[in-house]
Amino acid sequence: MIMPEGMRLGIVAGVLAFVASPAVVSAQVDDLEPADVPDLVGVWDGGARIRPINGPNQPWTRENFPVLNERGLAFQSIFDEAIAPKYDCVASSSPALQYDPYSMEVVQWPDRVLLRYEKDDVLRTVWLDGREPPVNEYTLQGFSVGHYEDGALIVETTQFLFDITGFDDYNGIPSSQLKHVTERYWREGDELRMTITVEDPLFLRQPASYTTRWVRMPAGYKLGTFGCDAYDARRAVRFMVPRYN
């Protein structure tokens, strides 16, 4: 019997909905040992009292500074601070976003983890249901999938847009659509720890990584609104001495 096209499409849609449903994902999570799923829920402080403020030498120090290839060095050599996207209210992305000196909220659902950043009002979704990145869909924050392993949350993010300051706000190091970011989150007592590793064959000769931490904010703390103002953001550019005329 030949099945009508509409019926076939309906069955396929039903199967896909079932596979991606929270109940199915919850069952997958329930199969894990409790020690494999860390409790990351809460609002975490990443401010100046917890770790050194980001700058030309933080979090990239002499020991872990990205090793650039010729293309990366060429981009860095011609970088002009006035073209940095932050002056147009463009948010930071990985690996700079995680080190910005602001708080972060973590929400764990059966099929995803939500990472909400006070800096730039960024919200990231880490899918735990095994879905693949949408074809030809590239964004500033990329597409993140994750899984739990040995008491840690492992996050893999790909499909980033090209970003002229894709590594940090200070060193003029870009990142490409080939950037691949791996984050590992785990708990050490009352601290949230993360090691982030960045691969980008268009600009890096080898992976670059750093490790950082957050501590829990007081109970009841709510993330503030960053609310970047486009006029105020451009104010600093007016006082810069242009590198090129």
pLDDT of residue 28: 52
Higher-confidence residue of 8 and 73: namely: 73
Which of the listed CATH numbers 2.40.50.1020, 3.50.50.60, 1.10.10.10, 2.40.128.20 matches domain 36-239?
Answer: 2.40.128.20
pLDDT tens-place string over residues 30-66 = 567 777 899 999 999 999 999 999 999 999 999 999 9
pLDDT in tens, 173-223: 999 999 999 999 999 999 999 999 999 999 999 999 999 999 999 989 999
Answer for the pair 181, 196: CB distance below 8 angstroms, yes or no. yes
The pLDDT tens digits of the residues spanning 74-125 come to: 999 999 999 999 999 999 999 999 999 999 999 999 999 999 999 999 999 9
Helix (H) or strand (E) holding 146: strand 143-149
What distance in Å separates the CA atoms of residue 115 and residue 124, rounded to the nearest whole number? Answer: 5
| Residues 142, 157 contacting (CB under 8 angstroms) | yes
CB of 133 closer than 8 Å to CB of 40: no
- What local confidence, expressed as pLDDT, does residue 16 receive? 41
The residues that bridge with 117 in the sheet, in sequence order, are 104
Tens of pLDDT, residue by residue over 111-163, are: 999 999 999 999 999 999 999 999 889 999 999 999 999 999 999 999 999 99
